[in-house]
């Protein structure tokens, strides 16, 4: 959410930003917010003037009563009596205007960084750099579901009976690799200086609306019926919510956290749920990183964070690339974002395994997360990034470590989490 003062002074910049995100239907919101803000300030000024007048006249009544001028005092009393209902009406109008302004402002997208490429959708995202050689082996690599099945490692039929489409059972060594990747991701980030956390897996609606846009919320979140609770789509939601309405001191910044959680997503949209494999599912697990920092440090952290994900996957023999998200592919709260994509030797293309974003002070402003500096309080900047989300990360691992004889090579970095195993054979 953008500061209302900034909108007052930079209305045309806000509109141009909306155009860059190809959301012209939101342009009227800027003028509507401006008009409501003018009404609010007029209303507040009138209320403040009435309260000041009431206080002054109340003082006059006291003086007149002490002087024995009861008749004059009674006249002023009658006048003051009319102020109460008028002030009460103005207070109600202020509250109504505040809610209406906030509702509209939460739909206005955050100001994107000047470096963000302009484009309508993800087809206009820009490749930044590749890391590792995207090899296509001389032998055929089966579909990841078939490789898992060879190791008796997946059961979607049973999951369909218990839970429906979009769920799965991981079994045996395949399940073990899945857990090993997450444990390795945890320790990988701890070694980078991040504090490990396991957050609540459900959050209240005021936290949901603080960390994401309304469009994302309706497309992603599962609501618990009869309660003000939602299943998290990522641990970022809980971890940012941890600081709701808090003031942290500057010496505490940056706050660097890495959190494990299961994640639950509706996956509403044209892409749908994958019928055969486990690339797009309703439930998965993830190791995430979240940073709260000073605004001037946000871009440095952004660049460090996506590089950590690159380094993690490269340590597992997985070629990756970074893809700069264009303006039309950015969620409304994001200032800048990039995807880390893993190479699929079977499909001979890259696919997303992680996403890194800096959101400026948008989440902090919605949730009231500030820091106490020497020159007063200000909102912190927040960032988030995927270390490893699996089973999607598991797919990348299986395809890139599958050998011609049907075995799976276990890279050195993962062996401590696999009991020292160097290779899995059917």
Q: What is the pLDDT of residue 131?
A: 97
What distance in Å separates the CA atoms of residue 108 and residue 27, rounded to the nearest whole number? 9
Q: What is the pLDDT of residue 68?
A: 75
Query: What is the β-pairing status of strands 230-231 and 202-203?
Result: antiparallel
Can you name the residues that pair with 323 across neighbouring β-strands? 127, 339
| Helix or strand run (H / E) with residue 58 | helix 27-66
Q: What is the pLDDT of residue 272?
A: 55
146-162: b or e for each residue (b if 16 or more CB lie within 10 Å)? ebbebbebbebeebeee
What's the predicted TM-score (pTM) here?
0.89
Within 8 A by CB and 6+ apart from 400, the residues are: 316, 317, 318, 319, 342, 343, 345
- Cβ 284 vs Cβ 263: under 8 Å: yes
- Cβ 8 vs Cβ 37: under 8 Å: yes
Within 8 A by CB and 6+ apart from 169, the residues are: 154, 155, 156, 158, 159
Tens digit of pLDDT at every position of the chain (426 positions): 788 998 999 999 999 999 999 999 999 999 999 999 999 999 999 888 888 887 777 777 677 777 777 777 767 766 777 777 788 889 899 999 999 999 999 999 999 999 999 999 999 999 999 999 999 999 999 999 999 999 999 999 999 999 998 899 999 999 999 999 999 999 999 999 999 999 999 999 999 989 987 677 777 889 999 999 999 999 999 999 999 999 999 999 999 999 999 999 987 554 555 667 899 899 999 999 999 999 999 999 999 999 999 999 999 999 999 999 999 999 999 999 999 999 999 999 999 999 999 999 999 999 999 998 888 899 999 999 999 999 999 999 999 999 999 999 999 999 999 999 999 998
- Cβ 3 vs Cβ 365: under 8 Å: yes
Based on the number of CB atoms within 10 Å of its own CB, is 266 exposed (0-12), middle (13-18) or buried (19 or more)? middle
Residue 218 tokens read as 């309706």
Domain ranges of the chain: 4-105, 122-424
Q: What is the pLDDT of residue 93?
A: 93
Residue 148 tokens read as 């898992």
Can you name the residues that pair with 277 across neighbouring β-strands? none
Query: What CATH architecture applies to the domain 122-424?
Result: 2-Layer Sandwich (3.30)
CATH class of 4-105: mainly alpha
Q: Residue 288 phi/psi, 5° resolution?
A: -120, 155
- Cβ 193 vs Cβ 289: under 8 Å: no
DSSP E strands, 326-411: 336-344, 349-358, 370-373, 376-379, 381-390, 408-409
**Concatenated DSSP letters of 277-329:** SSSS-SEEEEEEEEEEE-GGGHHHHHHHHHHHHHHHHHTTT--EEEEEPPGGG
Q: Residue 204 phi/psi, 5° resolution?
A: -80, 165
**Sheet with 283-293, side-by-side order of all strands:** 126-131, 320-324, 336-344, 349-358, 381-390, 283-293, 255-264, 195-197
Within 8 A by CB and 6+ apart from 17, the residues are: 109, 111, 112
- Cβ 308 vs Cβ 356: under 8 Å: no
Can you name the residues that pair with 195 across neighbouring β-strands? 257
What distance in Å separates the CA atoms of residue 350 and residue 65, rounded to the nearest whole number? 85
**Concatenated DSSP letters of 90-156:** HHHHHHHHHHHHHHHHTTSPPPPPTTSPP-SSGGG-EEEEEES-----SSPPPPHHHHHHHTT-EEH
Name the residue among 263, 274, 422 with its Cα closest to residue 355. 263
Rg for the chain (alpha carbons), in Å? 28
- Cβ 203 vs Cβ 231: under 8 Å: no
């Amino acid at each position: 959410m953008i500061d209302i003062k900034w909108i007052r002074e930079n209305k045309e910049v806000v509109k141009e930003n909306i155009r860059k995100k190809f959301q012209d239907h939101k342009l009227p919101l800027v003028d509507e917010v401006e008009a409501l803000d003018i009404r609010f300030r007029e209303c507040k000024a009138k209320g403040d003037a009435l309260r000041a007048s009431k206080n002054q006249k109340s003082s006059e009544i006291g003086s007149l009563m002490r002087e024995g001028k009861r008749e004059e005092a009674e006249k002023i009393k009658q006048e003051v009596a009319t102020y109460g209902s008028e002030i009460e009406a103005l207070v109600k109008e202020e509250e109504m205007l505040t809610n209406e302004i906030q509702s509209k402002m939460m739909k206005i997208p955050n100001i994107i960084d000047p470096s963000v490429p302009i484009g309508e959708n993800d087809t206009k995202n820009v490749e930044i750099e590749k890391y590792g050689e995207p090899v296509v082996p001389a032998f055929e690599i089966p579909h990841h579901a078939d490789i898992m099945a060879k190791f008796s490692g997946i059961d979607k039929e049973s999951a369909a009976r218990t839970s429906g489409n979009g769920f799965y059972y991981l079994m045996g060594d395949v399940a073990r690799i899945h857990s090993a990747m997450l444990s390795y991701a945890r320790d990988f980030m701890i070694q980078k200086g991040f504090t490990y956390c396991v957050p609540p897996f459900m959050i209240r609606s005021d936290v949901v609306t603080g960390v994401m846009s309304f469009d994302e919320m309706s497309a992603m979140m599962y609501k618990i019926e009869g309660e003000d609770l939602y299943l998290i789509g990522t641990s970022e939601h809980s971890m940012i919510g941890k600081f709701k309405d808090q003031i942290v001191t500057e010496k505490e910044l940056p706050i660097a956290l890495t959190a494990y959680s299961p994640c639950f997503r509706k996956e509403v949209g044209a892409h749908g749920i994958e019928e055969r494999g486990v690339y797009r599912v309703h439930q998965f697990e993830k190791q995430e990183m979240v940073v709260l920092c000073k605004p001037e440090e946000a871009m440095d952290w952004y660049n460090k964070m996506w590089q950590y994900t690159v380094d993690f996957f490269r340590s597992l023999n997985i070629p990756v690339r970074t893809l700069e998200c264009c303006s039309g592919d950015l969620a409304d709260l994001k200032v800048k974002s990039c995807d880390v994509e893993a190479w699929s030797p079977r499909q001979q293309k890259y696919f997303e395994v992680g996403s890194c974003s800096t959101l400026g002070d948008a989440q902090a402003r919605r949730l009231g997360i500030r820091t106490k500096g020497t020159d007063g309080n200000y909102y912190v900047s927040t960032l988030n990034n995927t270390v490893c989300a699996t089973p999607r990360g598991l797919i990348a691992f299986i395809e890139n470590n599958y050998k011609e004889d049907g075995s799976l090579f276990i890279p050195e970095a993962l062996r401590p989490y696999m009991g020292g195993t160097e290779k899995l054979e059917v």
